[in-house]
């Protein structure tokens, strides 16, 4: 092989390697920018920047949901396992906000469940998050929640607990909810938690057609849901296909179906 030909091939190889290196460098720069932009979006979306966002969007619906149990603390003595606690009632709750400075998560459930906590009595509401599924009694490491605000007219109750529970994505106040819309409900019926239901919107139901003690006849139409809803589903979030919370389950319909408080009433409760 002549020296000229060898030098020519060497130049081609060097040029090729330089081109590949340049392309890889550009790709690395683009990837770095995308990662940086994604990290910024996560920081802006949640007040807790240490939270590791999962790429699985369905987990975004599950993480905010908790199991709430009303416990009679007359039965809770040191050394007695949680299986001996007297559970006076159960419901579901959903995280709607987090205060990083105070390390407090704010959750929404139904007022008819919170009513079970009487002043001066030895009972309290405990919370279990969805990272630890169960089919029996509450666990010993459950957290205690405090009631902050209630409304019997809207059947809503705002509670708080220490620690981070990822807030649900809340739909806009003016979102359209139509008949045949596919929805997801996550809750803990009969104490089993969590259960995930895939069902549909049957339509809307005027408040005047629903007769429950203390419930206001004035307000937005309830969401009428297809599917079987059981005790313990109270306070379960209703999600649309975009993983947005559009309502909160509060009542069953005799034999079949359920009713949910629409997102507009939830906004009114929180803002007022």
Which residue is it, tokens 């009513």? 115
How sure is the predictor about 129, in pLDDT bands with cuts at 50, 70 and 90?
A: confident
Q: Are residues 116 and 211 in the same domain?
A: no
At residue 212, the pLDDT reads 75
Q: Are residues 70 and 153 in the same domain?
A: yes
Q: Are residues 69 and 142 in the same domain?
A: yes
Contact 186, 239 (CB under 8 A): yes
How sure is the predictor about 157, in pLDDT bands with cuts at 50, 70 and 90?
A: very high
Q: Are residues 142 and 101 in the same domain?
A: yes
Q: Are residues 65 and 158 in the same domain?
A: yes
CA distance 31 to 24: 10
**Core vs surface per residue 239-266: b (16+ CB within 10 A) or e:** bbeeebbbbbbbbbeeeebbbbbbbbbb
How sure is the predictor about 120, in pLDDT bands with cuts at 50, 70 and 90?
A: low
What global pTM score does this model have?
0.74
What integer is the mean pLDDT of 118-141?
77
Question: Looking at the domain assignment, is residue 176 inside a domain?
Answer: no
Question: Looking at the domain assignment, is residue 39 inside a domain?
Answer: yes
Q: What CATH number is attached to the domain comprising 124?
A: 2.40.10.10
At residue 48, the pLDDT reads 41
Ramachandran quadrant class, 265 (left: phi over 0; alpha: psi -120 to 50; beta: rest): alpha
The pLDDT tens digits of the residues spanning 198-253 come to 999 999 988 888 777 778 887 899 999 987 788 788 999 999 999 999 999 998 87
Q: Are residues 41 and 69 in the same domain?
A: no
Instruction: Find the domain containing 205 and state its range.
Output: 182-271
* Residue 43 clears pLDDT 70, i.e. is over it: no
Q: Are residues 37 and 68 in the same domain?
A: no
Question: Looking at the domain assignment, is residue 177 inside a domain?
Answer: no
Question: Looking at the domain assignment, is residue 151 inside a domain?
Answer: yes
Q: Are residues 83 and 114 in the same domain?
A: yes
The CA-to-CA distance between both ends of the chain, in Å, stands at: 87
* CA distance readout (Å), 271 to 7, 149, 216, 266, 268: 77, 12, 18, 9, 5
At residue 113, the pLDDT reads 92
Question: Looking at the domain assignment, is residue 94 inside a domain?
Answer: yes
Q: Are residues 134 and 198 in the same domain?
A: no
How sure is the predictor about 137, in pLDDT bands with cuts at 50, 70 and 90?
A: confident
Q: Are residues 27 and 95 in the same domain?
A: no
Question: Looking at the domain assignment, is residue 150 inside a domain?
Answer: yes
The pLDDT tens digits of the residues spanning 44-89 come to 333 343 334 444 667 789 999 999 998 876 654 444 555 567 888 8
How many structural domains compose the chain?
Answer: 3
At residue 3, the pLDDT reads 53
CA distance 193 to 135: 6
At residue 84, the pLDDT reads 62
Question: Looking at the domain assignment, is residue 231 inside a domain?
Answer: yes
Residue of 237, 226, 242, 229 lying closest to 262 (CA atoms): 237
Question: Looking at the domain assignment, is residue 261 inside a domain?
Answer: yes
The pLDDT tens digits of the residues spanning 87-103 come to 888 899 999 999 999 99
Where in 40-169 does DSSP place strands (E)?
Answer: 65-72, 86-99, 104-109, 123-129, 143-151, 156-162
Structure tokens at 36: 């940086």
């Amino acid at each position: 092989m002549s020296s000229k030909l060898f030098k020519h091939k060497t130049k081609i190889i060097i040029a090729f390697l330089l081109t590949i290196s340049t392309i890889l460098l550009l790709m690395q720069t683009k990837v770095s920018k995308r990662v940086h932009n994604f990290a910024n979006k996560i920081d802006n979306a949640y007040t807790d920047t240490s939270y590791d966002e999962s790429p699985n969007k369905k987990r975004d619906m599950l993480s905010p949901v908790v199991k709430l149990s009303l416990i009679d603390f007359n039965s809770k003595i040191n050394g007695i396992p949680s299986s001996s606690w007297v559970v006076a009632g159960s419901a579901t709750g959903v995280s709607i906000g987090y205060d990083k400075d105070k390390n407090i998560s704010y959750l929404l459930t139904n007022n008819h469940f919170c009513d079970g906590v009487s002043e001066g009595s030895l009972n309290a509401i405990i919370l279990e998050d969805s990272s630890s599924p169960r089919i029996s009694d509450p666990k010993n490491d459950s957290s205690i929640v405090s009631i902050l605000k209630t409304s019997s007219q809207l059947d809503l109750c705002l509670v708080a607990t220490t620690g981070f529970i990822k807030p649900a994505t809340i739909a806009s106040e003016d979102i359209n909810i139509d008949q045949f819309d596919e929805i997801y409900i996550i809750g803990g019926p009969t104490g089993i938690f969590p259960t995930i239901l895939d069902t549909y919107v049957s339509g809307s139901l005027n408040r005047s057609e629903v007769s429950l003690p203390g419930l206001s006849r004035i307000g937005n139409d309830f969401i009428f849901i297809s599917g079987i809803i059981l005790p313990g589903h109270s306070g379960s979030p209703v999600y649309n296909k975009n993983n947005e919370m559009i309502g909160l389950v509060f009542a069953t319909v005799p034999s079949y179906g359920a009713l949910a408080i629409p997102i507009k009433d939830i906004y009114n409760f929180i803002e007022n």
